[in-house]
Structure 1
Amino acid sequence: MNSSEALPPVGLLERGERLILASRSAARRAMLTGAGVPYTAMDAGVDEDAIKASLDGIDPAELALELARAKALAVSRHDPEAWVLGSDQTLDFDGGMVSKAKDLAEARHRLQQMRGHTHHLNSGVALAWGGAVVWSGVDTARMTMRRFTDEFLDAYLEAEGEGLLGSVGCYRLEGMGSQLFDRVEGDYFTVLGMPLWPVLAELRRAGVIAT
């Protein structure tokens, strides 16, 4: 994980700190809820396609970081007295970046391409306060899919349905998507959508959760 600017002065950290998760992701919300972190959630409302277009050719891991920063900043500028957590994922496969599938037919084709191969899933995260990013980082997991059959793929798509279109890799590791893989190298929470351990460490430093 990479860190950036220093946190605000300790004198500003008092009881009653508020945390906003700038994300619509159910997985990220479940992570914070499961960890016992009090927060509210808000859609950042950023134009991800425009950001990607403006950063054409950027390394996928760096793009995940830039998207996370943009989300955190958008909400922090709206509510500068709250801590804001932004996060995003990118998928790097065969030397190129993969976007979310538009429908199940595209998801099927995507998974057929990736089976038997390894791809990299990057989870970027940023913490903002006072309209500025005070910490950010990115973590990467190495994902190796097994050579599953078309019959399994059909059953998987039928079971998961359009819910899997919300994931850039067309899978949820916490669900039936775990059966797609032979090996996963990296942090489990990174795969789910956010590197939780570094996030919790920064929230403790910020005084949002108990040390």
Structure 2
Amino acid sequence: MPALWTHSEKLLLASLSATRLTLLVSAGLPVETQNSSIDERAVEEAAAHEGLDPPTLAGRLAAEKALAVSRRHPERVVLGADQVLECEGEVFHKPVDGAAARAQLMRLSGRRHALHSAGALAIGGQVVEHFLGSAHLTMRPLTEEAVDLYLDLAGPDVLKSVGVYQLEGFGVHLFETVEGDHSTILGLPLLPLLAALRRLGCLAL
């Protein structure tokens, strides 16, 4: 059987995200994972002082993750990825508990927000490719009762998502419209990634 992946080592994902891993494996890529262990809040604070906009912030976070792992494994092709949720100029973060998740959903209720998903590829401690995808989603106006029901149905996994929803599951009930590529919404713009890997000579197809 001919090989799709041409690099001598598997792609190294600088994240323990099960969703991103599933996207990569579904595309036929051989992948290993490793936590970047970067301080994301410190990166965000530094970016705020620099006045970075949300898409650029997503790119900075993705690059820092890729670089952290690439310095430990300079011979590998390392992928870093991150996602920033922006609503009317405000950047949202993953909720720390159920109460924060409830408050966040009420703030997004009836409003249109953007998901900026960025990726960076690093080799030898240097970023060699970077890419970005954005999607726009409009949430239905939600009652407090509807939010409570949704959180009960969706369970604690929603705390892993910056938007407090997983569109591939119960989260689909929250929306009026979704504009954008599905993989971008899930946190990894797959088509730009594959194009970048082809430019690096890592894919035969």
* Superposed pair shares fold, TM > 0.5: yes
Aligned residues: 199
Of 40, 48, 68, 1:48 maps to 40
Give the secondary-structure state (helix, strand or coil) at the position aligned to 2:134.
Answer: strand
Distance in 1, Cα, partners of 2:113 & 2:6:
43
Give the secondary-structure state (helix, strand or coil) at the position aligned to 1:55.
Answer: helix
Distance in 2, Cα, partners of 1:164 & 1:19:
27
Letter in 2 for 1:54: A
Residue 107 of structure 2 is aligned to residue 113 of structure 1 = yes
Residue 52 of structure 2 is aligned to residue 58 of structure 1 = yes
- Of residues 146-155 and 40-49 in structure 1, the stretch that sits farther from structure 2 once superposed is 146-155
Distance in 1, Cα, partners of 2:135 & 2:7:
35
The offset of 1:143, in angstroms, is 0.8
The offset of 1:157, in angstroms, is 0.3
User: Is the Cα–Cα contact under 8 Å of residues 110 and 141 in structure 2 kept in the other structure?
Assistant: yes
Of 156, 181, 184, 1:187 maps to 181
Match of 2:21 in 1: 29
Of 108, 117, 123, 2:117 maps to 123
User: Is the Cα–Cα contact under 8 Å of residues 93 and 119 in structure 1 kept in the other structure?
Assistant: yes
Match of 2:191 in 1: 197
Match of 1:88 in 2: 82
Consecutive aligned runs of 4 or more in structure 1 exceeding 6 Å deviation: none
User: Is the Cα–Cα contact under 8 Å of residues 154 and 170 in structure 2 kept in the other structure?
Assistant: yes
Deviations 1:125-156 (A, max 9, x none): 00011110001021111110011333322121
In structure 2, list runs of 5 or more residues that go unmatched: none
In structure 1, list runs of 5 or more residues that go unmatched: 1-12
- Of residues 199-208 and 49-58 in structure 1, the stretch that sits farther from structure 2 once superposed is 199-208
Deviations 1:73-112 (A, max 9, x none): 0111110111000000111112211111111111111111
Match of 1:206 in 2: 200
User: Is the Cα–Cα contact under 8 Å of residues 104 and 161 in structure 1 kept in the other structure?
Assistant: no
User: Is the Cα–Cα contact under 8 Å of residues 37 and 209 in structure 1 kept in the other structure?
Assistant: no
Of 90, 94, 102, 1:100 maps to 94
Distance in 2, Cα, partners of 1:166 & 1:114:
17
Distance in 1, Cα, partners of 2:110 & 2:150:
16
When the two structures are superposed, what TM-score results if normalisation uses the length of structure 2?
0.93
User: Is the Cα–Cα contact under 8 Å of residues 20 and 84 in structure 1 kept in the other structure?
Assistant: yes
When the two structures are superposed, what TM-score results if normalisation uses the length of structure 1?
0.90
Match of 1:3 in 2: none
Match of 1:144 in 2: 138
